[in-house]
A and B are shown apart, each in its own frame.
Chain A
């Protein structure tokens, strides 16, 4: 739980995420998704309670956790004055990926996301979609067990969104665990094996999209979401 600056952003929640599943966290603004996400990715520490990621405790083994996870941040977070390849090499080097393996992976992933012809271009000149595709492969260059995705398709065109979903599916088939936060119910419904719905720092529901819809007698996840979190607009 995080109680920084007197606001309890996340309060008394407990859940397990299984190896190999695609897990979604959804909730209105201020629900505590970002704080939970930041705690799971070791960016902030909980003020009480404990979190284990890949079997390691975030309080004592943050570095080991960072070796096992990859993060696709909300912002593209790429160095605009480095080329696409240099950005990937930087990440590979920080994860201590051997040079030969890193070069092979870089070539493979650049091709996978159709950026192989742009590898030597500075990313400052990339479109939003290109940046996001590069951002995704930057997060997997060290072959992580778990990939965290923070609202990965926000602001993207439908084609890029589809491409990101495809990539997520591919990584999951390879055995990686995927953890998403998203504002798009369609995304959660389509991609996730299980969805956690958060509201005001608490976990209000956790189940498969199908079960959540059945439980609320709804045809889509958006109705479930409104039903569980209310219609009130959040700050």
Chain B
């Protein structure tokens, strides 16, 4: 074996490979941008802390001792952060049921109820109990808020102690309850974009789509057929996922199956459109894979699937507002965890519908021109 010759040949092959890669300009961008996007989203998303928690303080205290407590809460800055944790709003004379309704409606992440006898009880050297309501459909944020509140209370007064009563407003919830609805939405999104795109890009590559398009079938019917296939497939996957989560992890399904199906049907339409649109602009299967990853994977980390949106930096939260999966996650959690009805998810459904209609129209247009 001539080592010099072997090395030279290897060099030739390496140059050829690089040349081929850089000729596909559409591939180069995701290839290098993607790792940066991933590290940014992972780093900020997983390593972040909860801040800007909207906290309503219902202060019925007739004395003045509660002032220092409220002040401590207001100025609390979590570790590794330079931002105050709570955005405080004050009120008084609000019943617990009314406060729960405000959390249900998403107006506040937490409500702290300070009783009228707070100052008097402490002055009498007796332990006092505050009620803390949190949005327990977001188990991560809720857990952090409770822990922080305990720290602040301990710091404010050692003795006599201030106790916390934390009612379970949605029943006993675990992290898996927070995770499951979003994982279903994520699975549907990923599965639909990838399988639709692979089908279209693959059929373009092997020429089968051209044969189909030369039959009397319209392009719209081709897309509709693929969409119906995805709708059935994804709804079946969602049902299996929910049932498995209920059986294996005891996940709570507080809401309507019909609303879950409605959210997923609308969202699947959009995801099919996205898959077709990306594949119509992709030269081949490899290009499709790279470009679709650029859209799908950041969705996973920016939209609050694994951690709450309240724990991410403001700029990332803004990105999330432009990603449809954010609204699918929100709607799924509202229905599955909070058990709320159609009114509570109307806003999410409108945004998802607009996304689906727009991306579907773009997809049909691109498919007509490019397929």
Residues in chain A within 8 A of chain B (CB atoms): 41-43, 63, 66-67, 69, 71, 73-80, 91, 94-96, 138
Contact between B208 and A78 (Cβ–Cβ < 8 Å)?
yes
**Nearest CB on A from B155, distance (A):** 65
CB neighbors of A among B208-224 (8 A): 208, 210-218
Contact between B217 and A43 (Cβ–Cβ < 8 Å)?
no
Contact between A77 and B206 (Cβ–Cβ < 8 Å)?
yes
A77 vs B208: C-alpha distance when bound (angstroms) = 4
Chain A residue with Cβ nearest B214: A71
Count contacts on B: residues with CB < 8 A to the other chain. 12
Q: In the complex, which residues of chain B have a beta carbon less than 8 angstroms from the beta carbon of A77?
A: 206-208, 210-211
Contact between A42 and B214 (Cβ–Cβ < 8 Å)?
yes
Chain B residue with Cβ nearest A66: B216
Contact between B207 and A76 (Cβ–Cβ < 8 Å)?
yes
A63 vs B211: C-alpha distance when bound (angstroms) = 14
Residues in chain B within 8 A of chain A (CB atoms): 206-208, 210-218
Q: In the complex, which residues of chain B have a beta carbon less than 8 angstroms from the beta carbon of A63?
A: 216, 218
Chain A residue with Cβ nearest B211: A77
Contact between A80 and B216 (Cβ–Cβ < 8 Å)?
no
**Nearest CB on B from A68, distance (A):** 10
Q: In the complex, which residues of chain A have a beta carbon less than 8 angstroms from the beta carbon of B216?
A: 63, 66-67, 94-96
**Nearest CB on A from B281, distance (A):** 15
Q: In the complex, which residues of chain B have a beta carbon less than 8 angstroms from the beta carbon of A42?
A: 214
Contact between B214 and A91 (Cβ–Cβ < 8 Å)?
no
**Nearest CB on B from A13, distance (A):** 21
* 10 cross-chain pairs, A with B, having the tightest CB-CB distances, nearest first: A75-B207, A77-B207, A77-B211, A94-B215, A66-B216, A71-B214, A77-B208, A67-B216, A63-B216, A94-B217
Contact between B217 and A80 (Cβ–Cβ < 8 Å)?
no
Contact between A80 and B214 (Cβ–Cβ < 8 Å)?
no
Contact between A43 and B208 (Cβ–Cβ < 8 Å)?
no
Q: In the complex, which residues of chain A have a beta carbon less than 8 angstroms from the beta carbon of B208?
A: 77-79
> What are 19 A-B interface contacts by the 8 Å CB criterion?
A41-B214, A42-B214, A43-B213, A66-B215, A71-B211, A73-B207, A73-B210, A73-B211, A74-B207, A75-B207, A76-B207, A77-B206, A77-B210, A77-B211, A91-B215, A94-B212, A95-B215, A96-B216, A138-B211
Contact between A43 and B207 (Cβ–Cβ < 8 Å)?
no
Q: In the complex, which residues of chain A have a beta carbon less than 8 angstroms from the beta carbon of B210?
A: 43, 73, 75, 77
**Nearest CB on B from A82, distance (A):** 10
Most chain A beta carbons < 10 A, residue from B206, B212, B215, B217? B215
Q: In the complex, which residues of chain B have a beta carbon less than 8 angstroms from the beta carbon of A74?
A: 207
A77 vs B217: C-alpha distance when bound (angstroms) = 16
**Nearest CB on B from A142, distance (A):** 8
Chain B residue with Cβ nearest A62: B216
A95 vs B214: C-alpha distance when bound (angstroms) = 10
**Nearest CB on B from A185, distance (A):** 25
A67 vs B206: C-alpha distance when bound (angstroms) = 23
**Nearest CB on A from B218, distance (A):** 7
Q: In the complex, which residues of chain B have a beta carbon less than 8 angstroms from the beta carbon of A96?
A: 216
